[in-house]
Structure 1
Amino acid sequence: MTALARTIATFFGVGLLKPAPGTWGSFAALPVAWGLHVLGGFPLFALATLAVFALGWWATAVATRGTDDHDPSEIVIDEVAGQWIALWALSWPATRHGIDITALWPGWIAAFALFRLFDITKWGPVGWADRRGDALGVMLDDIVAGAFAAIGVVVLAGLYHGVLGL
């Protein structure tokens, strides 16, 4: 494995933290997401997410080439991409309405918790993607988990602001 692929796959070494490297990877993704959003709003954040997905796919393929384990625990770039997808549900409206994204702090907690829930349980399509057994599957299961988490954030926001009127 090349040093560059290892650095990307472990998100600059975060994946080497124990226990629960996936949770550490998701947590480390949060301040970087905030910084990207502050620098360029949703457009920059979305482009960065796509770039992380592409780089992560490459780095995961390189890191797992010739091994029996298609998804070693130290590879957390997939968690970064998935967590960022979950945060799109905050970045888009914050950018569109000129809201300080830190004011949406309950959404950050929901995005993190829901993403981890879907990523760990591998429910439905998340599990299907994970069972591909290749580098694309490693990345896709977290993208799907992130999409489910984003939908969950939107539903919870709708319930809180719409149904409850708060």
Structure 2
Amino acid sequence: MSVSHLIATVMGVGHLRPASGTWGSLAALPMAYGIIILAGWPGLVIAAVVVFAAGYWATVEQTRGRENHDPSEIVVDEVVGQWVALLPVAYGAGMMGIAPERLWPGWVAAFLLFRLFDIAKPWLVGWADRRDDAMGVMLDDVIAGLFAAVGVVAFAALFHLVPM
């Protein structure tokens, strides 16, 4: 098994069925938690950038000479997108000086919103997906992650601003 295959499939997670993208997103959660514990939200940003670059390379390698430029076993893009969606949670925990798990509703919202945008592929997510190349594979999930991050912030604001 090649290094590019291990990166693209996130150590084989992409071979889990059904819904390999959801499995990739789920795998991203404990990884993000570990990164946040070790290096805070800046570490999550750095990890997302590094894994984006590695994922792009691995996707190029894994799709070279294939008609399908976004095979379902490639889930490194879901990891990066999920980490982007989690950035507001990581930042919030860091700014408040609390353990990231205390913001568990944000983790749930980030996961669900990211999956929603990744599956539905609205607007810019769909545009990136239609590129039909390795950059599109990575970008559609980053954009879905950005949309989900905005949703996480909106839900947090609504929760904290509306009296219960």
- In the TM superposition, what is the alpha-carbon distance from 1:66 to its structure 2 partner? 0.3
1:56-78 deviation per Cα after TM superposition (whole angstroms, max 9, x unaligned): 00000000000000100000000
Q: Distance in 1 between matches of 2:59 and 2:51?
A: 11
Partner of 1:42: 41
Structure 1 position 165 matched with structure 2 position 160: no
What amino acid is the match of 2:121? K
Q: Distance in 1 between matches of 2:160 and 2:124?
A: 29
Secondary structure of 1:18's counterpart equals: coil
Q: Distance in 2 between matches of 1:4 and 1:141?
A: 23
Q: Distance in 1 between matches of 2:97 and 2:49?
A: 23
What RMSD, in angstroms, separates the aligned Cα atoms of the two structures?
0.8
Q: Distance in 2 between matches of 1:145 and 1:45?
A: 17
Instruction: Name the TM-score, length of structure 2 as normaliser.
Output: 0.98
What amino acid is the match of 2:107? W
- In the TM superposition, what is the alpha-carbon distance from 1:165 to its structure 2 partner? 2.8
Unaligned runs of 5+ in 1: none
1:84-121 deviation per Cα after TM superposition (whole angstroms, max 9, x unaligned): 00000101111122121100000100000000000000
Partner of 2:155: 156
Partner of 2:137: 138
Structure 1 position 84 matched with structure 2 position 83: yes
Task: Figure out how many residues of one structure are paired with residues of the other and give that number.
Answer: 164
Partner of 2:60: 61
Instruction: Name the TM-score, length of structure 1 as normaliser.
Output: 0.97
Unaligned runs of 5+ in 2: none
What amino acid is the match of 2:32? A
Question: % of aligned pairs identical?
Answer: 57
What amino acid is the match of 2:12? G
- In the TM superposition, what is the alpha-carbon distance from 1:23 to its structure 2 partner? 0.2
Secondary structure of 1:22's counterpart equals: helix
What amino acid is the match of 1:139? M
Q: Distance in 1 between matches of 2:149 and 2:116?
A: 12
Q: Distance in 1 between matches of 2:54 and 2:37?
A: 22
Q: Distance in 2 between matches of 1:8 and 1:52?
A: 9
Any residues of structure 2 matched to 1:53-132 within 5 Å, and which?
Answer: 53-132=52-131
Partner of 1:28: 27
What amino acid is the match of 1:64? T
Q: Distance in 2 between matches of 1:97 and 1:110?
A: 19
What amino acid is the match of 2:3? L
Partner of 1:52: 51
Q: Distance in 1 between matches of 2:8 and 2:152?
A: 27
Secondary structure of 2:40's counterpart equals: helix
What amino acid is the match of 2:126? G
Moved over 2 A (4+): none
What amino acid is the match of 1:144? I
